[in-house]
Chain A
Amino acid sequence: MMKSRSVGSGLLLLLVGGVIGYGVGLGLDFVVTGVLNFSGSVAGLFALLASVTAFFFGVYGYRGITRGLVWQVLGTILGGLFVTAIRFLMGLRGTELFGTFFFSEPAWVFGALVGAVSFLFGVGVMDDWVKWARGIDTPEHHEDKPGWEKYLGVSLDHKVIGVQYTITALVLISVGGLFALIFRTELAASQLQFLTTTFKLFNQTGPQIYNALMSLHGMIMIVSILLGISGIINYVVPLLLGAHDMAFPRMNAFAFWVAVPASVLLLMSLILGGFETGWTGYPPLSSRGPVGVQMFFLGVFVAGWSSILGALNVIATVMRMRAKGMTAMRLPILAWASVATSIIALTATQLIGLSFQLVMFQRLFGMGFFDPTKGGNPVLFQHLFWFYSHPAVYVFVLPGLGVISELLPVFVRKPLFGYRWVAMSSLGIALVGFIVWAHHMFTSGMNEYLRVPFMYSTLLVAVPTGVKFFSWVATIWGGKISTPTPMLFVLGAIIVFLMGGLSGPPNATVSVDLHLHDTYFIVGHFHDTIFGGFVFPFFAALYYWFPKATGRRMNEFWGKVHFWLMTPSFLILTFGMMRIGLLGMRRRIADYDPALGFDTTHLILTICGFAIALSVLIFLINFFHSMKHGEKAEGNLWASRSPEWQVPSPMAAHNYEVPFEVVGEPYDYGLPGSKYIEFAPAQGKKH
């Protein structure tokens, strides 16, 4: 039984489960509505849930993630039935009780919530806490079995959790990327080609599916970014600090696992009618759409807890778990950046959760928060939403910028220029980031006198960001540059982020933004910032720390192919977006007028999109192939001063056998005789 479990049997079961789920859904739908709807939501939903669950059953058996998913499905159904029963007792019958989506909206919302909670109990992250509540003590660490199996169940080891986060982020990036390819293909020429008005899928027409895919692309990518930075932070930061784990290992596991049911909810939203609002979910559109909008809100809300609790953990870890001698001004820049990011994630995330909750309640109970006919105020939603979502863009990029500052000195063999300023600039960006949110609302109809202060506060962000650029340039200046793959991505990140940074101030300038708002110029701007601030540094970090996690390195040649294919395609993509944006191409629409003359540009953009996808595919193959077959790399591959590279790879289960003490500056590369850390004499205490 154990032997036969493999990816192969997983894929087989995926098919079988999908077919069975599809059949069950089709039947249920038929019972309720009386028609066989082959492209309907219910059949699609059951197929999705059954196939994913069956896949993990085939790979892993009934434990860990499989059990979580089974419990989530059961919880969703039971929760939905519970509400349906109550509504039945209240006297509702027939189509009032059920609907196009099988359950009514309140039943779906409650069921989905119960399902998400059930997942957490099913997967087992709550076990220790339940024991504690009953007064039973548990060991501080649980030993993981060696091998890959620990990654599909609950582990408390920050390195395992870091890998879990990273892999999940890569999966989501692939899903979100796939969605982008679909709607990018539709955009390649004017007029509707395949997502036409007669096209039917999940009870949606082609343009509706376009909108749903576009919206979901945005939110899935955001979640994958949040998981990606958590992956890097979780894996690397405790090692940089010399800690044996994060401050709260159980909460760490919880923060990861809660993101899994959240991702399922997001995918469910596509099938249950979709949501056409874009990732911002503004009412009144979001207060009217189908159930999918609710699933989207709930999914984001649940994912938010991952971000909040992860951030809490990072701050506590950096404040309480540092090695001896690691004072604030000797803290690695990545740790500083992680703290700055976490301050935002810890606090502001609550506001997106709240704003989405308010719309959910407005839909469920008729509360009038954003409904003008009841005295509500739709612009209030935008304020609450952007109070998170602007700072959130710094959540995305600060860790990446930290990675740039962390790696650059290694590859130019020179001290990081202006350590203190760089450390403080992360905090500066995070704090200024809290007072700029209304620059997304210049055209919203908010009070006009608010525009100018928000314009200036936004332009102020350029100052701490400029500090970082200044430091990078000065660090590179006169250095002995070598360019293995991680360094290529660091350099790419700097250039791409510069493009994003330069296209920001025009948006921030009220007079210009009145023209630019909601055009492809904005789309080009934020893709530049996000790729420069997250995607490129993320790849750099993966190439750089891969040997630490596996004891092998990724293939250099394919790494370089990845870089040289992705970077030019990406730059053309965003410049093209900015060009047509300036000429008047609106964002978030499935079609455009041929008379605008954008066809050629759009075609080029689509080709670039596919080129980027190809480069990421090359990366993924390289990544998974190198885990087993990569060239061995167990030593200090990059000649780094950082503590994690002073011990052999892969890292031991409880990190450092011997604790170290910080005795010098972290980035004094190339200064003869300078030392960063010193390991304690051998009899050091083991954890």
Chain B
Amino acid sequence: MTHTEDKKSMLSQGIYIFVYLALLTGLEFFVAVTFKSVVLLVVVALVKAALVVYYYMHVYKLNVDGEGDHDSYEYKSGTNRLGLWLFLISDSFVFGGLMVMRINLLGLTHPNLNQLLGLGVTSVLLVSSFFMNRGETMIKNGDRQGFLNNTLITFVLGFLFLIGVVFVEWRIAAHEGLVASFGDPAKGPVGGVFYMMTGMHAFHVLTGLIFLAIVWLNGRKGLYDQKSYPVEAAAVYWHFVDVVWIFFYPALYLIGTVIV
């Protein structure tokens, strides 16, 4: 499948990708509850991330516009796009560092968390990415109302994710003794690792939500009917937050054995 430009095939491409991602997430969960192959979990996460980066974040767009009038909107959007990707590269070093920390401190164990809730919030974030992609495709094709509706759905789902992690998951965990300061020499600093990773991710979700709200409000005024790059930026950022979770979810919920 290659990337396509017209609206209809773009939308259906979004659906295909979503179906693949959903199937892979199911596979991931299945592997984790049955034969627990770490290698397979890593491979699945990498494939999922690659799908999002290529089709939803359309990384290939970095490559298209070369020479041109430096003052045109196209050229400037190209520069902005490069800037955004550089920022994401930088940001992924934070998450990479957290991942290294987690591997070093917890190894092949993971905290005892509510598996259904984990799968639930993961699905919510995945579905939000799907709607984000639709919203972006629609504004590119001049469909303002469709863009607004889909962005609103994305926002609501993102908000649900945030509630799910910060107000439900954190509470349950703390209730069961997994507080931030929890840790002992045999198990590792489980509390610190768990709250730091989910917290840093949740902070990025929050900034993504603010970005979405801004884009939605300005979109209502018709600001992006012609010049839609800000929508693309918000979408790419949102998908990036999703990609991070694609790695954090197995790292915190699925890989290895439960620490008791």
On whether the beta carbons of A350 and B180 are closer than 8 Å, the reply is no
On whether the beta carbons of B94 and A312 are closer than 8 Å, the reply is no
Using Cβ atoms and an 8 Å threshold, which residues of chain B touch A308?
90
Q: Name the contact of A376 in the complex, choosing from B75, B100, B189, B221 (C-beta under 8 A).
A: B189
Using Cβ atoms and an 8 Å threshold, which residues of chain A touch B184?
373-375
- Does residue A663 face the partner (Cβ distance < 8 Å to B)? no
**Per-residue 0/1 for B170-199: is the Cβ within 8 Å of any A Cβ (1 yes, 0 no)?**
000000000011111111111111011000
- Does residue B226 face the partner (Cβ distance < 8 Å to A)? no
Q: Contacts A247-B79, A358-B196, A375-B105: A367 and B180 contacting too (C-beta < 8 A)?
A: yes
Q: Name the contact of A320 in the complex, choosing from B79, B100, B195, B218 (C-beta under 8 A).
A: B79
Q: Contacts A315-B86, A351-B97, A354-B94: A365 and B181 contacting too (C-beta < 8 A)?
A: yes
CB of A313 to closest CB in B, whole Å:
8
- Does residue A634 face the partner (Cβ distance < 8 Å to B)? no
On whether the beta carbons of A384 and B94 are closer than 8 Å, the reply is no
29 contacts between A and B (CB under 8 A): A134-B218, A135-B218, A248-B83, A308-B90, A320-B79, A346-B86, A347-B90, A347-B93, A350-B94, A351-B97, A361-B192, A365-B181, A366-B180, A367-B191, A368-B189, A369-B101, A369-B105, A369-B193, A373-B184, A373-B185, A374-B182, A374-B184, A374-B189, A375-B105, A375-B188, A376-B183, A377-B105, A384-B97, A384-B100
Using Cβ atoms and an 8 Å threshold, which residues of chain B touch A316?
79, 82-83, 86
CB of A347 to closest CB in B, whole Å:
5
Using Cβ atoms and an 8 Å threshold, which residues of chain B touch A512?
none
On whether the beta carbons of A380 and B105 are closer than 8 Å, the reply is yes
Using Cβ atoms and an 8 Å threshold, which residues of chain B touch A350?
90-91, 93-94, 97
- Does residue A321 face the partner (Cβ distance < 8 Å to B)? yes
Q: Contacts A135-B218, A312-B87, A320-B79: A380 and B101 contacting too (C-beta < 8 A)?
A: yes
Using Cβ atoms and an 8 Å threshold, which residues of chain A touch B87?
312
- What are the nearest 10 A-B pairs in CB distance? A367-B192, A368-B189, A366-B181, A374-B183, A368-B183, A375-B188, A350-B93, A135-B218, A354-B97, A365-B180
Using Cβ atoms and an 8 Å threshold, which residues of chain B touch A355?
97
- Does residue B152 face the partner (Cβ distance < 8 Å to A)? no
On whether the beta carbons of A312 and B86 are closer than 8 Å, the reply is yes
**Per-residue 0/1 for A325-364: is the Cβ within 8 Å of any B Cβ (1 yes, 0 no)?**
0000000000000000000001111110111001001100
- Does residue B217 face the partner (Cβ distance < 8 Å to A)? yes
Using Cβ atoms and an 8 Å threshold, which residues of chain A touch B187?
375
Residues of B bordering A, CB below 8 Å: 70-71, 75, 78-79, 82-83, 86-87, 89-91, 93-94, 97-98, 100-101, 104-105, 180-193, 195-196, 214, 217-218, 221, 223
On whether the beta carbons of A371 and B183 are closer than 8 Å, the reply is yes
- Does residue A319 face the partner (Cβ distance < 8 Å to B)? yes
On whether the beta carbons of B189 and A346 are closer than 8 Å, the reply is no
CB of B190 to closest CB in A, whole Å:
8
CB of B233 to closest CB in A, whole Å:
12
- Does residue A133 face the partner (Cβ distance < 8 Å to B)? yes
Q: Name the contact of B217 in the complex, choosing from A135, A346, A362 (C-beta under 8 A).
A: A135
CB of B178 to closest CB in A, whole Å:
12
- Does residue A372 face the partner (Cβ distance < 8 Å to B)? yes
**Per-residue 0/1 for A589-619: is the Cβ within 8 Å of any B Cβ (1 yes, 0 no)?**
0000000000000000000000000000000
On whether the beta carbons of B183 and A135 are closer than 8 Å, the reply is no
CA distance A315 to B82 in the complex (A): 9
Using Cβ atoms and an 8 Å threshold, which residues of chain A touch B214?
133
On whether the beta carbons of B93 and A348 are closer than 8 Å, the reply is yes
Which residues, 380 to 404 on A, are CB-close (under 8 Å) to B?
A: 380, 383-384, 387
Q: Contacts A135-B217, A316-B79, A351-B97: A368 and B192 contacting too (C-beta < 8 A)?
A: yes
Using Cβ atoms and an 8 Å threshold, which residues of chain A touch B188?
368, 374-376
On whether the beta carbons of A367 and B196 are closer than 8 Å, the reply is yes
Using Cβ atoms and an 8 Å threshold, which residues of chain B touch A372?
185
Using Cβ atoms and an 8 Å threshold, which residues of chain B touch A368?
181-183, 188-189, 191-192
CB of A488 to closest CB in B, whole Å:
37
Question: Who on chain A is nearest to B185 by CB?
Answer: A375
Using Cβ atoms and an 8 Å threshold, which residues of chain B touch A348?
93
Using Cβ atoms and an 8 Å threshold, which residues of chain A touch B97?
350-351, 354-355, 384, 387
Using Cβ atoms and an 8 Å threshold, which residues of chain A touch B196?
358, 361, 367, 369
CB of B251 to closest CB in A, whole Å:
16
On whether the beta carbons of B86 and A377 are closer than 8 Å, the reply is no
CA distance A375 to B181 in the complex (A): 11
CA distance A355 to B187 in the complex (A): 21
Using Cβ atoms and an 8 Å threshold, which residues of chain B touch A251?
83
CB of A140 to closest CB in B, whole Å:
9
Q: Contacts A346-B89, A375-B183: A135 and B223 contacting too (C-beta < 8 A)?
A: yes
Residue of B82, B94, B192, B196 with most partner-chain A CB within 10 A: B192
CB of A319 to closest CB in B, whole Å:
6
On whether the beta carbons of B82 and A319 are closer than 8 Å, the reply is yes
Question: Who on chain A is nearest to B79 by CB?
Answer: A320
Using Cβ atoms and an 8 Å threshold, which residues of chain A touch B191?
367-368
Using Cβ atoms and an 8 Å threshold, which residues of chain B touch A347?
89-90, 93
Q: Contacts A321-B70, A375-B187: A367 and B83 contacting too (C-beta < 8 A)?
A: no
On whether the beta carbons of A374 and B185 are closer than 8 Å, the reply is yes
On whether the beta carbons of B105 and A376 are closer than 8 Å, the reply is yes
CA distance A349 to B87 in the complex (A): 12
Using Cβ atoms and an 8 Å threshold, which residues of chain A touch B185?
372-375
Q: Contacts A316-B86, A372-B185: A367 and B105 contacting too (C-beta < 8 A)?
A: no
Using Cβ atoms and an 8 Å threshold, which residues of chain A touch B104?
377, 380, 383
Using Cβ atoms and an 8 Å threshold, which residues of chain A touch B193?
369
Using Cβ atoms and an 8 Å threshold, which residues of chain B touch A371?
183, 189
Using Cβ atoms and an 8 Å threshold, which residues of chain B touch A349?
90
Question: Who on chain B is nearest to A355 by CB?
Answer: B97
CB of A623 to closest CB in B, whole Å:
34
Using Cβ atoms and an 8 Å threshold, which residues of chain B touch A346?
86, 89-90
Using Cβ atoms and an 8 Å threshold, which residues of chain B touch A312?
83, 86-87, 90
CB of B15 to closest CB in A, whole Å:
32
CA distance A652 to B152 in the complex (A): 47
CA distance A384 to B94 in the complex (A): 10
CA distance A321 to B83 in the complex (A): 13
CB of A54 to closest CB in B, whole Å:
36
On whether the beta carbons of B100 and A247 are closer than 8 Å, the reply is no
Question: Who on chain B is nearest to A322 by CB?
Answer: B70
CB of B224 to closest CB in A, whole Å:
10
Using Cβ atoms and an 8 Å threshold, which residues of chain A touch B100?
383-384
CA distance A365 to B194 in the complex (A): 13
Residue of B97, B98, B184 with most partner-chain A CB within 10 A: B97
Using Cβ atoms and an 8 Å threshold, which residues of chain B touch A361?
192, 196
CB of B87 to closest CB in A, whole Å:
6
CB of A242 to closest CB in B, whole Å:
11
CA distance A319 to B195 in the complex (A): 39
On whether the beta carbons of B82 and A353 are closer than 8 Å, the reply is no
Question: Who on chain A is nearest to B78 by CB?
Answer: A320
CA distance A227 to B184 in the complex (A): 42
Which residues, 116 to 175 on A, are CB-close (under 8 Å) to B?
A: 133-135
Using Cβ atoms and an 8 Å threshold, which residues of chain B touch A366?
180-181
Using Cβ atoms and an 8 Å threshold, which residues of chain A touch B79?
247-248, 316, 320-321
Which residues, 494 to 528 on A, are CB-close (under 8 Å) to B?
A: none
Using Cβ atoms and an 8 Å threshold, which residues of chain A touch B82?
315-316, 319-320
CA distance A387 to B100 in the complex (A): 12
Using Cβ atoms and an 8 Å threshold, which residues of chain A touch B183?
367-368, 371, 374-376
Q: A247-B79, A316-B86, A350-B97 are in contact. List 9 more A-B contacts (CB 8 A).
A: A135-B223, A247-B83, A346-B90, A366-B181, A367-B195, A374-B182, A374-B183, A375-B187, A380-B105
On whether the beta carbons of A135 and B86 are closer than 8 Å, the reply is no
Question: Who on chain A is nearest to B83 by CB?
Answer: A316
Q: Contacts A350-B90, A369-B189, A375-B188: A135 and B221 contacting too (C-beta < 8 A)?
A: yes
